[in-house]
Structure 1
Amino acid sequence: MLAASLNPFYRQSDPFEPTPFLALLFQAPVKLLLYHAYNLITSLRSTPKPTQPLIRIVCISDTHTHIPQDVPAGDILIHAGDMTNAGSVAEIQTQIDWLASLPHKEIVVISGNHDTYLDPRTRPSLSEDERKGNVEWGRVHYLQHRRLSLTIEASSQDSSDGGERRPLLADNRSQRRIRIYGAPQIPACGPMSVHAFQYPRGQDAWSETVPEDTDILVTHTPPKWHLDLPLPDGMGCEHLLAEVRRVKPTVHVFGHVHWGAGKTVVWWDKGHDAFCQGMAVRSKWTHGVLNPRLWWSVVRVLYRGILELLWDRVWGGQSFNTIIVNAAQMHGNTGKLSNTVQVVDI
């Protein structure tokens, strides 16, 4: 990072590390404006209200053999992949045993690219000792291109107590049906023989793969331009984004890009369409400054975004939306878990 401090136009060589602001200002000034305009307007919109009685989803990812401390209580715990570093049976089993010991009613796990043993294509890269034995999942639900339907005995939330959840009385308990779909594939980021569940970047590995009635989608890769270090190029998958837009799940949980950790709401409206169209524009000359398509996207994001904001805040209307969660626990590439465990009530 010394080069970044000495050269304001330095471009980060590792795409999984954030590019310095001054470098982005030089490389993609209009996209930088577009990105911040879209996110500013989005941040001003109201939060989707959970259904009552609510279900609490606790989201983690990218623990890389570590065990997070103080995982919040909830109804469903989701781990969105990269439980391990080497991906051996022993590493995976240690993480599964820890997850199974937690008090959550249901625990759902998918694989990440570091969970090598779980992909038959990359399993041969492990030593014989690393492949020895079988993974015992116990009460943990492992989803690999699989749909899971859960019946959850829900709890209520009393808004008068500051948001604290209280159990329903025995005679007032109710159940909710939650449909979860999990898939581990990611755009290639390393050797195909070592990193699990990869496909060539740009290839469509997603269209028509997610069931339409999915409530919670769990993937390892982010959708492109959303909590994925979106500038200058974005580390997520554009085809996954299109699939999420088609299905519009209530929640989409992922990880993989550690620096993208966080939570936001995607509103599936024309302002979001303009944002994605602008971010997809490629300008080889003048870094987009003279590209009319990019500037038109900025105008559309501001215009449509303000209209949607007024409709939301003044008239109380809301577009279709998805809460997206980058649940990575690893803080960048530091090797330490310090990102916040994300909690979503639906």
Structure 2
Amino acid sequence: MDAILNFFSSEMLHSGIRLTTPILLGAIASALSSRAGVLNLAIEAKMLVGAFVGLLALDAGGSTFTAILAAFLAGAITGGLMAGAHRLGVDLIVFAIGLNMLALELSVYLMRVLFGGTGVWTPEVDTLDDIHIPFIESIPFLGDLLSGYNVLVYLAFAAAIAFTLFFRYRPGRHLLAIGEAPGAAAAAGIAVPRYQATSLIVAGGVAAVGGAFLTVGELGLFTRGMTDGAGWIAVTAALLAMNRPGFLIPASLLFGFSDAFAIRLQSTTDLPQVVVQLLPFLATLVVLGIVGYRATRAAALLGMPKRPRGAAKRPQPATSTAGS
């Protein structure tokens, strides 16, 4: 029992909440786009853009606030590109894949051109300071769990709560209507293209702040593939929550704590590093399987018909026997 308590220590829980932060911000961005009826698979690209631009702004002499704001604006511009592609009728899945690849390679190219290296860029900058809450910090265990994070951690959870409350007001209800039935929403006088474009732009900014958390908030460095799949995990967390704002926090915590569990396991056992690093992605695969099963069950409960096995085959024209 003592071994279990030592394994799941307050330090591990603290690490789990930190690791949840970029996933939660990315999940909010993914759910916001989905609620507007737009599939947004470029969360990884926007997080990479935010991570690079945020650290670049901080290295240029700006404050941490300026760096976070610059990351948000860069992500919003990236989201604007996606909104423009959506308006032009471009396939957003193909566009998102291209955007993810562009963000990855462009960040490496700019790191080479601006700083003369392709490995790790480590500027002399000060990251965000941790905030210690006086009254809560003195409480045993609870103080270690709730106090001692930088401002982006608290901002991420506050944004998730605000996102939940947003749907109680008219703009949020309009966004829900667009996601459910865009044609009916347009007939009711709702500006569907404007709402969808705005949701993609804001989602881009929010996801970019999640990327800035890694560089400006925690590590103070940038490396190739800095996000390491956090954007895709965020999309999976939003799918697990069925894009419902109230479930985004627990869904994101699941993945954040799976990362913390893997790190803790690596430091306390002799398991190979490759096996330990696979655990978060294994959790992602399991969750995707659960989401797919739930979607299939929901379709069956709603009585949605299944396509017959031979439905995809074109019917053969009848052969005329006249004159034979």
Q: Structure 2 length normalisation: TM-score?
A: 0.24
Greater share of residues in strand: 1
When Rg is computed on C-alpha atoms for both structures, the one with the higher figure is 2
